[in-house]
Structure 1
Amino acid sequence: MQPVVDFATPIRNAALPPPSNRRFARDQAAPSDSEPVATRDGRTLRLRPIEPGDAQALRRCFKRLPAQDIRRRFMHMLTELPEPMAQRLCRLDPATEVAYVLVDDTVTPAEVRGVGRLFIDQSSDSAEFSVLVERDWTRLGLGALLMHRLVDACRERGLAELWGYVLVENRPMLRLCGELGFTSRMIPDEPGTAQITLKL
């Protein structure tokens, strides 16, 4: 004969479920891919992998870029970052892409101030890089930070080479990459464009 359980009688010392605000909240103790970054002028950003939800912040960042910076980054002029392109840039294929963003949480909504990205060619064991930092946040070491992070990501994957195209007029980027050990050569079919390469 099965015992009869009276569900109306509370069981002594039974553990109560946690409150709903704890049950459905993100685990605050979970490890985070985000890390604080202090700039040379005392401002603070967060460095983390790009996320699908960054698309609109990426588009707003693009609108704040001077035309010269857009040309340096994309090698041609764009007047805006189309929504489909922004969504695509924020949804990565982890096998072939890596991207980090520098996020400014001191404003609402939070803004993207810089992006570093890798496009990995598995057949050649190499990766192409791109780095962009918003004009008001340049000369603070953020470009170097993103480049170091991209170099580390390549080495973690065991890649043999990191490379990118840089306009000759983009002297700050060429100087930074020279300090990091990149070599440079001019592209014959692309006047004013250098390919810079780092053997890993």
Structure 2
Amino acid sequence: MIPAIDFSAPDRFAPLPPRSSERFARPRVALSSEGERVRTHDGRELVLRAIEPGDVAAMQRCFTRLSPEDIRRRFLHAMSELPAPMAQRLCRIDPTLETAFVLMDESVKPAEMRGVGRIFVDEATDSAEFSVLVEQDWSRLGLGALLMQRLVDDSRRRGLYELWGYVLLENRPMLELCKELGFKQRLIPDEPGTAQITLKL
């Protein structure tokens, strides 16, 4: 049974805690006609926007740049390629149950996908499962935290009770990020090496 939500609680929509300034620099974000223009502390620019059906090729190219370790951490098992039907499914979302944001690098042609974050809503539990991936060369710039913030914002806009995801225990950067953002962690007895992390919204 899902516990009742106290909408009058003053901290229900409290902002996420800021990330550690000693280890991560916050990217600068500005609105643009394409979405949100993001500038990292080292001067690189990306566009943060909703995923589109035309992003299939960029998603497949992004997959080819991932290390086997990155793939296993994101998909929780090994994959040698991202099949076209799967890429098409990931880019053609059902907006009533899904949200997906991408970080696009438009300094190259064709534009390349450098990160993606998504949620899938479970209406039965009033919650959403999330996943976040940032390409290795763009990591530790605060982009994962930015994607997570947008997913949290969207989950709250939807009025959901909880945001959650599965993370391998070896994926320390992701666990560290989620801890800093207020997520709670618990081990999965039936899946050694895996934690479920949750954030009450």
Give your verdict on TM over 0.5.
Answer: yes
Runs of 4+ in 1 over 6 A off after TM superposition: none
- Measured in 1, the distance between the counterparts of 2:40 and 2:117 equals 17
* 1:33/1:49 contact within 8 Å kept: no
One-letter code of the match for 2:61? R
Identity of aligned residues (%): 71
- Measured in 2, the distance between the counterparts of 1:39 and 1:156 equals 27
Q: Does 1:46 align with 2:44?
A: no
Match of 1:92 in 2: 93
Q: Secondary structure at the match of 1:98?
A: strand
One-letter code of the match for 2:122? D
> How far off is 1:97 after superposition?
0.5
One-letter code of the match for 1:65? L
Which of these two proteins has the greater Rg computed from alpha carbons? 1
Show CA shifts across 1:41-77 (max 9, x none). 1100000000000000000000000000000000000
Match of 1:114 in 2: 115
Show CA shifts across 1:8-53 (max 9, x none). xxxxxxxxxxxxxxxxxxxxxxx84611001121100000000000
Match of 1:131 in 2: 132
* Relative contact order, higher structure (CA 8 A, sep 6+): 2
Q: Cα RMSD (Å) of the superposition?
A: 0.9
- Consecutive unaligned residues of structure 2, counting only runs of 5 or more, are 1-31
One-letter code of the match for 2:156? R
- Matched residue count: 170
* 2:34/2:47 contact within 8 Å kept: no
Q: Secondary structure at the match of 1:36?
A: strand
- Measured in 2, the distance between the counterparts of 1:148 and 1:189 equals 30
- Measured in 1, the distance between the counterparts of 2:104 and 2:122 equals 28
Match of 2:197 in 1: 196
- Measured in 2, the distance between the counterparts of 1:144 and 1:33 equals 21
One-letter code of the match for 1:64? R
- Consecutive unaligned residues of structure 1, counting only runs of 5 or more, are 1-30
Q: Secondary structure at the match of 1:73?
A: helix
